[in-house]
Amino acid sequence: MPVSSRIAIVGAGNVGATTAYALMLRGLFAEIVLIDTDSDRATAEATDIADANAIARPARIWAGDYADAREASILVITAGAATADGEARTSVAGKSAVIVRTCVDAAMAAGFDGILVVASNPADAMAQVAQATSGLPAARVIGTGTLLDSNRFRKRVADQLAIAPGAVEGVVLGEHGDSEVMAYSSVRIGGLDLDAYLDGAAFDRASVAHEVVRAGYTISHGKGHTSFGVATAIVRICEAIQRDEHIILPVSAKLDGQFGISDLYLSLPCLVGAAGIMRILTPDLTTEETAALHASADALRRTLSECK
Burial class (CB in 10 A: 0-12, 13-18, 19+), 198: middle
Q: Which residue in the list 176, 221, 225, 294 is annotated as catalytic?
A: 176
d(CA 160, CA 275): 38
Q: Is 241 helix (H, G, I), strand (E, B) or coil?
A: helix
Count Cβ atoms below 10 Å from residue 200 Cβ, excluding itself.
5
d(CA 44, CA 291): 47
176 a catalytic residue: yes
Residues ≥6 apart with Cβ < 8 Å to 179: 292, 295, 296, 299, 300
Residues ≥6 apart with Cβ < 8 Å to 169: 154, 186, 187, 188, 189
d(CA 73, CA 274): 9
Count Cβ atoms below 10 Å from residue 207 Cβ, excluding itself.
11
> Is 205 within 8 Å of 184 (Cβ atoms)?
yes
Give helix 14-26 / helix 39-53 axis angle, nearest 10°: 20
The Cβ-side half-sphere exposure at 102, using a 13 Å CA radius, reads 16
Residue 145 is given by DSSP the state T
Q: Is 176 helix (H, G, I), strand (E, B) or coil?
A: coil
Question: Which alpha helices (H) appear in 145-275, and where do they start and end?
Answer: 147-161, 194-198, 205-223, 228-242
Give catalytic residues, as residue numbers.
176
